[in-house]
Chains A and B, each alone.
Chain A
Amino acid sequence: MSEKNINRRDFLKLAGTAAAVTAVSASGCGDAVKTGSIANTTTSVSQNIPTDKMTYRTNPKTGEKVSILGYGFMRLPTVTNVSARESNDDIDQETVNRLTDYALEHGLNLFDTSPAYCKGFSEHAMGIALSRHPRDKYYISTKLSTFSPQQWTYETSVGMYKNSLKELQTDHIDYLHLHGIGMTAFVDGKQLDGVESLHKRYIDNGVLDFLLKEREAGRIRNLGFSYHGDVKAFDYLVDHHDQYHWDFAMIQMNYVDWRYAKQINPGNTNAEYLYNRLTEKGIPVFVMEPILGGRLAKLPTHLQETLRTRRPESSVASWSFRWIATHPNILTILSGMTYMEHLQDNLSTLCPLDPCTDEEDAILQRVADEFVKFPLVPCTACQYCMPCPYGVDIPTTFTHYNKCVNEGYISVSTQDANFVEARRRFLIGYDRVVEPKRQAAHCIGCGVCQPHCPQNIRIPDKLRDINDYMEKLKQETL
């Protein structure tokens, strides 16, 4: 395997991790407008956000007050107005500065980044934006993102950490994560599971010992880890809490991942388990993916209606933030906010927090039950599965499917009220974006794509499911 390939694979993982940290959807502002029409009022949520009502949580170790909303610097705006994740363009530093200032003004005080984010430019941008403010007004969270086996040496890892300090223009990190605990790797022809990778990345090479010493020296104020993937690695670190004394841990959590993590992504673990284990051990929780990469902001129409009927003036996304924040052991919820509307919507949700009632919790559990019936394919359209040797256009197929799910055009039965429209939209829309000879029916299940998917999507199975669904649409036998 060429070096290039290894790098590519590593980059995939990075992209996968990146996908895990989340953003509020662009619908934030639009929600407010639509809400207005339902509620028969036209109050704009974003205009009246108080600057002194942010909800804070206390770090049990340091006693510091951390804002419940943290700013994720993974989807920074670029000069072409697209999130840096989807574009190769330069980061729009001016806008980043403006967003940072606005966040600080409204009491947000935790900023999260990684050496891997935004093609490696995220820390630099954060350094510029934050160094314009007094260092004691905010907390910096970054990670040791050694994804590639080539970076698993002591020197490279420590070098990455030191470079973070430099890019962030600071002499200490408030929260440092071991990044992507639970990810598996393929080294020297051998598949490593989450625990083996963990050992190779941080333990065997002495990097973790170095970090522990840095914590003693005060250059790392809090040491923790962010987890996704193999749950054995999570359990290993939690089991060794007495040895390492984790100050925090980051997990993927929202009302769907609470009990349906496997339905969202078979490689994931229910947040209920993760949260409860961390709480038992007294480890404060960072949350990523509060709205599943935007999917919980764009629920199928009938689910949106359920939530809007209950709180006509709240965005759909706000429900997830409120639900998460209602859990007492949450230290902060990271959200990758590309646009001001994202930031404003989230601030208005959490300044201050109006906790979820038991009844609302029950509603959200029902929404989650329904949501997993229309499972989206967790495809980020990174294109690494391509080209399929048999010409199938995999990412576009998934994108089209997800679009139909999000817009409420997936039918359960021919008796559905919108069956005819949904059928037209799915079939005509699919022909528009993917020419027939590249559609799902042409997947022979060879599995060449499978190892390339950073989301571990079982691509052939998914394509088969989508084709079966199409067959039912065409034959009207749903």
Chain B
Amino acid sequence: MLKKLRTIIGTIFLVCITAMFLDFTGTLHCWLSWMTDLQFLPAVLGLNLAAILIVLALTLLFGRVYCSMICPAGTYQDAVSHVAAKVKKNRFAFLPENKILRFAVLAVFAILLLVGLNGIALLIAPYSAYGRIVQNLLQPIYIGVNNLLAKAAEHYDSYAFYEKEVWIKSLPVFIVAIVTLITFTVLAWRGGRTWCNNICPIGTVLGYLSKLSLFKIRIDASKCINCRLCEKNCKASCIDIDHHTVDYTRCVSCMDCIGKCKKDAISYTTSKSSQSTSSDSPNASLRAMLTTTAALAATSALHAQDKTTDGGLAVIEDKKIPEREIPVKPAGSLSVSSFSNKCTGCQLCVAACPNGVLRPSTKLSTFMQPEMGFEHGYCRPECTKCGEVCPAGAINPITREEKTAIRAGHAVWVKDNCLPQTDGVSCGNCAQHCPSGAITMVPLPDNPKVKIPSIDTERCLGCGACEHLCPVRPFSAIYVEGNLVHGNM
């Protein structure tokens, strides 16, 4: 019964959160954003006290139910482990706790966050890792199917579906997502909750907290016949039947053991008499994980694939990303540093961005945290999606009106690229499309016939309309530099 409840709730969370990462129309988050808001690390980084308190209270009451129900990475691993259990029955055995590893990882994780190397730390953050997997690997398939439907709809003159461009937003992050998926799957297949009980820093924190929890799995030694069915089916490998104890730092309250016990010796109750054990043993998976991620971080960046153009039209070269001294962060993120401290790199905003602007950073210090780029579109004035979906408070929700006054960056003119200068053609497309009217076309002092853009950085919002719509390719003659602190007009 309890197991069923856990399975149902866990599945609902997994499906809904996955759906949020797939949905590119920005409709689901209105209903489901509380689910991502409950995710622990984003809540901590974003100081979402309500969410933190709920998770802590849940843990103090029921143990690590967060890991079994709310965390999508946990439920995903349970699903893999469940399938593995069909193939090989009774495959687990008690393992002593690897305390050194757990605390070492937690310590490194905390230090990395404190010194601002969030990009590396976030590689092992469970919710974000899951988000990256879905956004990088599943969303393209989802959009692909959508595009097929859109084609069909077009055929029937229906406007129910519309096409959406599929592109790899960052190759390193794409590879990280693949490796993470493989790691999750292999570890769960072989050892159930190996990841959660050795690596996951959230698991460690909540694990030690759950030692104090009110409800716990308890073994009645008087009823136990030492058949070890519970131990052999404990995916956390935390039941020690020799001593009739459960390691509560690792127990994720999955309730599997209750059903397995033929003698009714296991219960989930409030009564006392329990203790935990722990012992040390090195874990190979850790080393594997660390080496793979390090290798990944070092992988060099690659640009998005080129698209060929059709015959009757002039060939359009794809835009390239200019070298920015300061990355442009979306309006609502207050400042570059505030953003990188809070962002967990879950890619939910990247998945939701309808204009192809947000993509994960490939810089080491901000690895996987989104930044803006304008080759596929620009940050449109009416769109406030990223702030709406962000569970970590890295991008605060803003209104459309507020957005018109937030200066996330400023445009920079590149004289040598500008069309009136190079080709003698009158242009002014940047000024024409600037949503805040920050660009004025003025005569060039030494050649008044040529008009060039002059930028009022006080009015410029850094939306990238000018950069995106500049006819010069591959590098625009006007591009956006981020503002370290987002000013207000």
Contacts and interface: CB of A to CB of B under 8 A. Distances in A.
Interface of A: 383, 386-391, 393, 421, 424-425, 428-429, 431-432, 436-438, 441-446, 464, 474-476
Contacts of A445: 426-429, 432
Interface residues of B, number: 25
B471 interface: yes
B402 interface: no
A252 B426 CA distance: 37
Given A386-B312, A388-B314, A438-B316, A431 B162 contact: yes
A425 B163 CA distance: 13
Given A387-B314, A424-B159, A431-B163, A442 B471 contact: yes
B382 A444 contact: no
B419 interface: yes
Contacts of A387: 312-314
Interface of B: 150, 154, 159, 162-163, 309, 312-316, 377, 380-382, 419, 425-429, 432-433, 469, 471
Contact of B313 (A391, A429, A444, A474): A391
A425 B159 contact: yes
Given A432-B163, A474-B382, A476-B382, A438 B313 contact: yes
A442 B429 CA distance: 8
A393 to B, nearest CB: 6
A387 B316 CA distance: 11
A347 B316 CA distance: 50
A428 B314 contact: no
Contacts of B313: 386-388, 391, 393, 438
Nearest to B162: A428
B471 A390 contact: yes
5 contacts: A391-B314, A437-B316, A438-B313, A446-B427, A475-B382
A427 B316 CA distance: 22
Contacts of B150: 432
Contacts of A428: 159, 162
B315 A444 contact: no
Contacts of B380: 474-475
Contacts of B162: 424, 428, 431-432
B428 to A, nearest CB: 7
In the A-B complex, the 5 residue pairs with the smallest Cβ-Cβ separation, listed nearest first, are A391-B316, A428-B162, A387-B314, A444-B429, A475-B382
Contacts of B314: 387-391
A475 B381 contact: yes
A334 B447 CA distance: 55
Contact of B469 (A391, A442, A474): A442
Contacts of A386: 312-313
A429 B315 CA distance: 23
A444 B427 contact: yes
Nearest to A467: B433
Contacts of A436: 377
A386 B377 CA distance: 24
A171 to B, nearest CB: 46
A128 B289 CA distance: 84
Q: Which of B163, B316, B427, B433 has its CB near the most chain A CB atoms (within 10 A)?
A: B316
A421 B419 CA distance: 39
A388 B469 CA distance: 15
A476 B400 CA distance: 12
Contacts of A438: 313, 316
Contacts of B427: 444-446
A388 B380 CA distance: 26
B312 A444 contact: no
Contacts of A431: 162-163
B123 to A, nearest CB: 34
Nearest to A409: B159
A17 to B, nearest CB: 24
A468 to B, nearest CB: 10
Nearest to A394: B313
A12 B427 CA distance: 27
A173 B426 CA distance: 52
Contacts of A421: 159
A383 B312 contact: yes
B186 to A, nearest CB: 40
Contacts of B163: 431-432
A444 to B, nearest CB: 4
Nearest to A426: B159
Given A444-B425, A474-B382, 19 more contacts: A383-B312, A387-B314, A388-B313, A390-B314, A393-B313, A424-B159, A432-B150, A432-B163, A438-B316, A441-B469, A443-B429, A444-B427, A444-B428, A444-B429, A445-B426, A445-B427, A464-B432, A475-B380, A476-B382
A362 B427 CA distance: 46
Contacts of A464: 432
A384 B154 CA distance: 27
Contacts of A388: 313-314
Contacts of A476: 382
Contacts of B315: 391
A50 B428 CA distance: 62
A441 B163 CA distance: 19
A240 B456 CA distance: 60
Contacts of A441: 433, 469
Contacts of B381: 475
A54 to B, nearest CB: 39
A389 B427 CA distance: 13
A464 to B, nearest CB: 8
A11 to B, nearest CB: 17
Q: Which of B159, B377, B426 has its CB near the most chain A CB atoms (within 10 A)?
A: B159
A431 B315 CA distance: 18
A52 to B, nearest CB: 43
B312 A446 contact: no
A446 B162 CA distance: 32
A444 B159 CA distance: 30
A445 B425 CA distance: 9
